[in-house]
Structure 1
Amino acid sequence: MNLNEYASYDATGLANLVRSREITSFELTRLAREAYDRINPTINAVIEFYNDAETAPCSEEGLFAGVPFMRKDMGTPEAGRLCEHGSRLYQGYRPTIDSYYVDRVRAGGLRIVGRTTTTSLGALALSESAMCGITRNPWNLDRTAGGSSSGSGAAVAAGIVPIASANDGGGSTRIPASYCGLVGFNPSRGRVSGGPNGQDPEAYGLLRSFVLCRTVRDAAAALDILSGSYPGDPFLIPRSERPYVDELSDSGGRLKIGVAMSSWTEMPLDTEIRDRVSETAKALEQMGHIVEEIGPPFSVSDHRETILSYSYLNYTGLDAIATSLGRKVDESTLEPINLELYERLKKLPLSHAAKYFEYSRKLCFDVAVAVQNYDLLLTPTMPCTALPHDAYSMDLRSMSADEYLNLDFADLSQYLFSFSLTGQPSASLPLFVSADGLPIGIHIVGRFADDATVVRVARDLENAFPWAKRRPPVFAQ
């Protein structure tokens, strides 16, 4: 197998070749390393390809038997490996235990071969940090790959590996999926355990780990290997009645679908993206579903206040981390926007946490009431295509901290954050490419715990708008 052939397969396809003895896991890893050597100097998606990747433990019996996999450099610890969170504060940090996520990745047959870049502490919808530098979008090197799972998005889009880890609180899986032309599934809250040390790092189960990949069948298989609860997990969720890969052959039923055709904040929705949402809605209608337009399911001010109050709480654990690593929280360890938010947090009263919980409760209630009559929602993933790298920065030279928070957290994530908060499953699908050659992600959202319907509709849309043969200009070949 040559590099071009390797990169043409999704993870399921490569696993089938391993099981049929047409190729070995070792050979796949060597091809992944070759792709990394060729491509990574251009896009800077992988911060480390393990020296011992070819001998890293994996099972060749799981759904992804022997397939190379990369781990986002935060959120899913791998014992003994660097986990630096894209931040100088964590530089050199090596966890001592594996996350349950990593255990399941290995049991599913994936071979972890390296770690991908991320934005500092997971902030920023762009793809740059002082620690990692700029991660470039394989579709256009002058555009962002999206954050915070930026390296995973760029590495999969460019064909270095067919699947990589990601996690999502305000959109950190779905944003790079939309910008890089990938499938970005965000499972229901509680579907994938964050244990043993990260079951609920952000209140309401906001942060959920999953993968970025190129096909719906890979996303379904990933749900099968990653799903499952453990003792001590704070959220209970009904188990799926059957494997998610079996949903791919089920016809499903007629659904009532609410479609967002307008902006949900003050940031306008790009006209071309709105037209592509409309095109998707018509396709769903032709499939027999009932489709009707919906407005914003929340007030703009409540949405903004929830996100702004949440953004401060993200920094509550930094003092303990700094102490454990023998460092200080200052300009030498944090980027300007991180430091600004940390310093603001230190001045807030304890009652600020109660304020966040109340805003979150109200937002969850308002969204639930607004969408209760729909089986599925259809929205843009992002209000715009991938932004230029210099659109704004974490160094605060281009805007104030308040402007940064409003744009990065509230406006760009206007279709994403609220469904992280409610715990509903969702997926960004790479249905379209813009007139100037940039991917356009379309977002579908299911009822809580109904990940199966999201899988089935995603499959139908993949069939209606096939994307498998699309390749970015920068691609392993």
Structure 2
Amino acid sequence: MVRVHAFGDDALGDLDAVGLVEHLAAGKVSVPEVVDAAIARCEAVNPRLNGLAHDAYTRARREARDPRGGYFSGVPTFVKDNVDVAGMPTQEGCDAFVSPPRPRDGDFFRMYGATGLLPIGKSQLSEFGFSAVAEHPRLGAVRNPWDPDRTAGASSAGSAAFVAAGVVPIAHANDGGGSIRIPAAACGLVGLKPTRDRFAQDRALRDMPVRIVSDGVVTRSVRDTAAFLREAERVYRNLKLPPVGDITRPGTKRLRVALVTTSVGTAATPEVRAATLETGRLLEELGHHVTELDTPPVPASFKDDFLLYWGFLSTFLVGSGPLRHRGSWDATRLDNLSRGLARYAARRAHRLPAATARLAASGRVSARLFRDHDVVLTPTLAAPTPLVGHLDPMQDYETVIERLMAWVAFTPLQNATGEPAVSLPLATDPAGMPLGMMFGAARGQEATLLELAYELEEARGGWASPAGA
């Protein structure tokens, strides 16, 4: 297994984002130096990883000479290519149209950029973000820096691949069915999906019937994720949610943890279940109280309801393509997954109102669970990271959707409930690939997840990387 990374003796070194902020403040490195280093690293590894959707190198170098303020001022990053940034296209991971440069920043990027993060480009995702892998008929697959024969996960594939490979320390990701947590798990990163409405979002996401998408970041350290939530909250504060605040260390409260290794119709593979149980034992050693649950805290209808809602979103995006992308729309270039989801939903359109209502009410089920537990532990994914091609979206729809739903069995629940969840790289599979463990909490309880994440990071002595695994 040949690993791909860009860590080296340049201005970025092996620093995380907080460490880079400290070096910049001390004058040990300059913003132009770190931006040039990130660009050089991207050029070095992208031919193998294929995570770049659009380069903004010229713009980044110009901004590096006079970076905007904010805690992360001058720290290089990527923005996932499904949010609008003025002057850059928004291609949505799709081959079926050509996006012109967007005329203005979307609401999310206005908040993201106000923290000082400086994008050197946009990162690749799966088509419209539907698949848990980013594999394109024309663009090829986004590959995993731990093993380029394996997927980087998705939909925030490019961001995760570049952070894990050391190109940048922090990158934007968003999550509509696990798309922060899945690539974080596959690439050995920290990936926290915030509570619904925690941060500003672009209008298209705000207008969803069930707002399943949350924006956030993927990072190599818990403190980077915590610092981003703190700084983003200083820019945009949702007064209906308890504040996250400045979380810098483990908590002292011992937690009641529910451990679950089965979802609706799917159980974790033996090696993934064993890793989850081992994580439970670590929690008990740290003084937490762990209870294994025999049945998943998910309504029996959840899997079918979520799939139908996914299909509804595909129906809208595929059906509105000619209007939204006049002059460049070519439906023959859509992948089989997007087309298959749209057909699936069209045949079951009469079931959509009831499915949407059940998804919207799913938080009531999890709320009952959190009366007796503080945190739920599950594996992030039900099986180890597959080889590129296993989830190829150009396969027969029935084949790829069956494989996809079997792998992504645990993450969609929090998208429906709006609750926060974090994937942590606490385990490895027999091949040496990272395995993510996922912790979910009640709405607004990101602080609890971050305190627990700090504790587990300390207990593990930090997280491994492709450079030093």
Task: State the TM-score, normalized to the length of structure 1.
Answer: 0.89
Distance 1:221 1:102, change over 3 A: same
- Matching residue of 1:437: 432
Distance 1:179 1:230, change over 3 A: closer
Task: Measure, in 2, the Cα distance between the counterparts of 1:50 and 1:263.
Answer: 43
Q: Is 1:407 equivalent to 2:411 in the alignment?
A: no
Distance 1:313 1:416, change over 3 A: same
Aligned to 1:88, the other structure's residue is in SS state: coil
Contact 1:190 1:237 in 2 (8 A): no
Kindly report structure 1 stretches of 4+ aligned residues shifted beyond 6 Å.
Answer: 228-231
- Matching residue of 1:72: 80
**After superposition, what is the alpha-carbon deviation per residue over 1:384-412, rounded to whole angstroms, capped at 9, x for unaligned?**
12101121321124xxx24433431x322
Aligned to 1:191, the other structure's residue is in SS state: coil
TM-fit CA distance, 1:279 = 2.1
- Matching residue of 1:319: 319
Distance 1:228 1:340, change over 3 A: farther
Contact 2:180 2:191 in 1 (8 A): yes
- Matching residue of 1:309: 308
Task: Measure, in 2, the Cα distance between the counterparts of 1:225 and 1:45.
Answer: 26
TM-fit CA distance, 1:277 = 1.7
- Matching residue of 1:50: 56
Aligned to 2:172, the other structure's residue is in SS state: strand
TM-fit CA distance, 1:250 = 5.7
**After superposition, what is the alpha-carbon deviation per residue over 1:104-147, rounded to whole angstroms, capped at 9, x for unaligned?**
22221111111111111112112211253111111111111001
**After superposition, what is the alpha-carbon deviation per residue over 1:60-85, rounded to whole angstroms, capped at 9, x for unaligned?**
642212110001111x2101201101
Task: State the number of aligned residues.
Answer: 459
Distance 1:326 1:380, change over 3 A: same
Task: Measure, in 1, the Cα distance between the counterparts of 2:219 and 2:165.
Answer: 11
Task: Measure, in 2, the Cα distance between the counterparts of 1:172 and 1:337.
Answer: 16
TM-fit CA distance, 1:330 = 5.4
- Matching residue of 1:186: 193
Give the gaps of 5 or more residues in structure 2: 1-6
Task: Measure, in 1, the Cα distance between the counterparts of 2:288 and 2:338.
Answer: 45
Task: Measure, in 2, the Cα distance between the counterparts of 1:322 and 1:265.
Answer: 37
Contact 1:59 1:65 in 2 (8 A): yes
Contact 1:19 1:60 in 2 (8 A): no
Contact 2:173 2:217 in 1 (8 A): yes
Aligned to 1:77, the other structure's residue is in SS state: coil
Task: Measure, in 2, the Cα distance between the counterparts of 1:394 and 1:264.
Answer: 23
Task: State the TM-score, normalized to the length of structure 2.
Answer: 0.91
Task: Measure, in 2, the Cα distance between the counterparts of 1:347 and 1:268.
Answer: 29
Task: Measure, in 2, the Cα distance between the counterparts of 1:474 and 1:128.
Answer: 27
TM-fit CA distance, 1:344 = 4.3
Task: Measure, in 2, the Cα distance between the counterparts of 1:413 and 1:90.
Answer: 28
Aligned to 2:122, the other structure's residue is in SS state: strand
Contact 1:66 1:109 in 2 (8 A): yes
Contact 2:308 2:344 in 1 (8 A): no
Task: Measure, in 2, the Cα distance between the counterparts of 1:37 and 1:199.
Answer: 32
TM-fit CA distance, 1:465 = 1.1
- Matching residue of 1:225: 231
Distance 1:329 1:301, change over 3 A: farther
Q: Is 1:28 equivalent to 2:34 in the alignment?
A: yes
Task: Measure, in 2, the Cα distance between the counterparts of 1:296 and 1:323.
Answer: 45
Distance 1:282 1:299, change over 3 A: closer
What amino acid sits opposite 1:407 in the alignment?
R
Task: Measure, in 1, the Cα distance between the counterparts of 2:274 and 2:419.
Answer: 25
Larger mean CA deviation between 96-105 and 150-159 belongs to 96-105
The CA RMSD measured in Å over matched residues stands at 2.5
Q: Is 1:111 equivalent to 2:118 in the alignment?
A: yes
The 5 A counterparts of 1:74-473 are 74=82, 76-195=83-202, 197-227=203-233, 237-240=240-243, 243-244=245-246, 247-249=247-249, 251-260=251-260, 262-298=261-297, 301-315=300-314, 316-327=316-327, 331-349=331-349, 351-361=350-360, 363-397=362-396, 401-408=397-404, 410-468=405-463, 470-472=464-466
TM-fit CA distance, 1:371 = 4.0
Task: Measure, in 2, the Cα distance between the counterparts of 1:353 and 1:175.
Answer: 26
What amino acid sits opposite 1:453 in the alignment?
T
Contact 1:297 1:371 in 2 (8 A): no
What amino acid sits opposite 1:459 in the alignment?
Y
